[in-house]
Structures are given as structure tokens and as C-alpha cells.
Amino acid sequence: MSSSLESVIVQSNILFIFINIIICLWLSWVKSTFLFLDCCLECCGCHCCSRRTICVASVVLLCIALTVIGVVLALLLGIPKQPPVNRLCRTEKNGTGFLCDDRVTCIPPSDLCDGVLNCLSGADEDSTMCIDLPIHLPGYLVFRCGNPSNWIFIDQKCNHINDCADCSDEIGTYAACPLSCSMGWWPCSSVEFQYCDCIPHSLCQDGQQHCHDWSDEYICTKIS
């Protein structure tokens, strides 16, 4: 028997026992006073204030019992959750972003859960979302590295930085990055762990080797 089926059976048994207890208590209380129906009939005629009180109390007790049963049902069976809010948007740089509650502000995914309120409502720092990253993040905001246990925010992919520590976010068909380097970057196989197949143009002709083929020192022209 699966664990989920066993859980349902246990919850059903608990609910059945609880309902029986409530019904027994209610019937015992009514029996110890007057017959419920006769009481209500006499109350309608206003013959006896004490019986009217008993009648009202019986109805109140029944309402309480039904309310308790409803609460227990909600706890056992689960309260239906509201559908998740669609947070997908495009940032100013036309990248995938996180939409704030104002439905206007679109922030880069890497600005989420960084301790800074980028959304006025604080939606980007929501404790439920940030408590165990990236489990509670929408999948479109996350990029899984070559090592599945590692992940980065989607806007950190194809930024010429080795964020995955294995260059899987910069090189290969999985990352699907542009073949050419962005403006301000020089194409080469980097000798430094921080970069992959592009280095900042500012590192050219600085007297140090940054490319395996030394092209950063002999071919690349330093931009002043």
C-alpha cells in the first residue's frame, strides 16, 4: 500500500471518529434536557423562556459542531490554494524577469531574494519564495548547470562569466549562447577560472596572459 493511500485512510478514520464524538456529545446534551423538536415548537409559541433558551443553545451548539467539523475537514483534506500569480515579464534589456505586484515593474531574476526590496510590496523578498531557493522559484527564472545540483538565475546565463563553475552556462548547445562575444569583450579560451570563451577588453595588453593563445597580448588592442 502506498504511503499516500495510507495517509488518506488515516485521515478518514480520524475524521470519522471526530464526527462520531461530536454527534454523541450533542445528542447526550439534548437528551438531558428536553426533546429538541418539542422544545423548538414551544419556543415558537413563547410558552417558556427557559425552554426557548434551551432551544437557542441547542441550535448554537449544533452550529459550533458543524463549524468545528468544517475546520477539521479543511485541515485534513487541505484548503484549496489560490492559483499562482503570473510573474513572467520582460526586463528593460529584453530578458526574462520577475513582475512585481504593481504589474508594471519588471526586475532581473538575480535581484530576487538578495535582501533588497526591489518591489515596493516586497514581493521579490517573499519569505515563502526565498526560504529554500530555487525550489519555490518559477522554473523560467532558473538555469540548471551541467552539474544538476548547481543552479543560477536565468539572467546570469550568457553573461561571459563562469557562474556555473564549469562554463556550462556560457558554452555548448545547452546554454545556447550567441557564438560571438558582446561588445567590450575579446573572444578567446580564458586561462582564468572566472571567464570561459570571452574576456573583458580591458584585460588586453596589460602584460599578463589571460588567453591560452596569448591573443590578449599580441592581437587584441587595448581600448583606452
Q: 3-class SS at 25?
A: helix
- Residue 142: beta bridge partners? 153
Separate counts of helices (H) and strands (E) for the chain: 5, 7
Based on the number of CB atoms within 10 Å of its own CB, is 204 exposed (0-12), middle (13-18) or buried (19 or more)? Answer: buried
Report the percent of the chain where pLDDT is more than 90. Answer: 57
* 184 residue type, one letter: G
Residue 173 DSSP one-character state:
T
Query: Does the pLDDT at position 196 exceed 90?
Result: yes
Q: 0.85 exceeded by the pTM?
A: no
Q: How far from chain centre, in Å, is Cα 59?
A: 43
What is the model's pLDDT at position 37? 47
Report residue 73: phi and psi, to 5°: -60, -40
The band of 10, judged by pLDDT with boundaries at 50, 70 and 90, is low
- 26-82, pLDDT tens digit by residue? 655 555 554 444 555 454 444 455 555 556 566 666 667 666 776 666 666 665 556
